[in-house]
Every structure is written in structure tokens, then in C-alpha cells.
Amino acid sequence: MGLFEKLFGKKETRDGKAASPRQLAKWYREGLTYLDHCGPLDEAKFSELNRITGGMLSESQIRNFIVQSTMMLGGMDAVKNTLRETLKKGITTFESLGF
């Protein structure tokens, strides 16, 4: 098991093959661009973001975020900001590892 798998677990590409860190970094950049241009976040946009990023979250994690957003100050805007920061941290991590 390589360093990437130890840190992030094994990810698969959209076609079911193992995703490289470089591919994940690309998808996270695409996801960040999508978040910056999609307008207010809703369930459909959240699912599309997840598709773009190669399925970084499970369906149950997405549902939890949506349910929790109803109890958060800022609602889905706060979730969108959290997702944006998470993607930025992921991209920074991949870049620091040379991907």
C-alpha cells in the first residue's frame, strides 16, 4: 500500500479503475470551479459536485450534510463554504506531494 492510499484510502475513477492522486487533484480543481459558478447550493448541485470530484462523499454523507444544513446558521451556504475549504485543502495537499 502506497503513501497515497494510507493517507486518503483507495479511490476509483468514474470508470471503476484506481484514481491517481493527479487525477483526484484535477477533479478537485474542477469541483472548486463548479462550486464557484453554480450559484446557491442545493441537493442536485451537491450531487453534481460529488460526481465531478469522483465521488469524494458517499450518498449517506451527502444526506447528512443536507440534514445538518437545516440546523446550521447559514444553511447550505455554510455547507458550500465548508466544501470549498475542504477542496482547497485537498488540492494544496496533492500539490505539496507533487501531484
3-class secondary structure for 3-66?
HHHHHHCCCECCCCCECCHHHHHHHHHHHHHHHHHCCCCCHHHHHHHHHHCCCCCCHHHHHHHH
Q: Which residues pair with 18 in a beta bridge?
A: 12
**Has residue 16 got a pLDDT over 70?**
no
Query: Which has the closest alpha carbon to 32: 92, 85, 74?
Result: 85
Q: Residue 11 — very low, low, confident or very high, per pLDDT cuts 50/70/90? A: low
The pLDDT score that the predictor gives to residue 12 is 55
pLDDT of residue 56: 84
Domain regions of the chain by residue span: 19-94
If you count them, how many residues does the chain have? Answer: 99
- Output the pLDDT for position 98: 83
State the pLDDT at residue 19. 81
Which one has a higher pLDDT value, 56 or 17?
56
Q: What is the mean pLDDT of residues 68-77?
A: 92
**pTM given for the model:** 0.77
Mean pLDDT for 25-36 is: 95
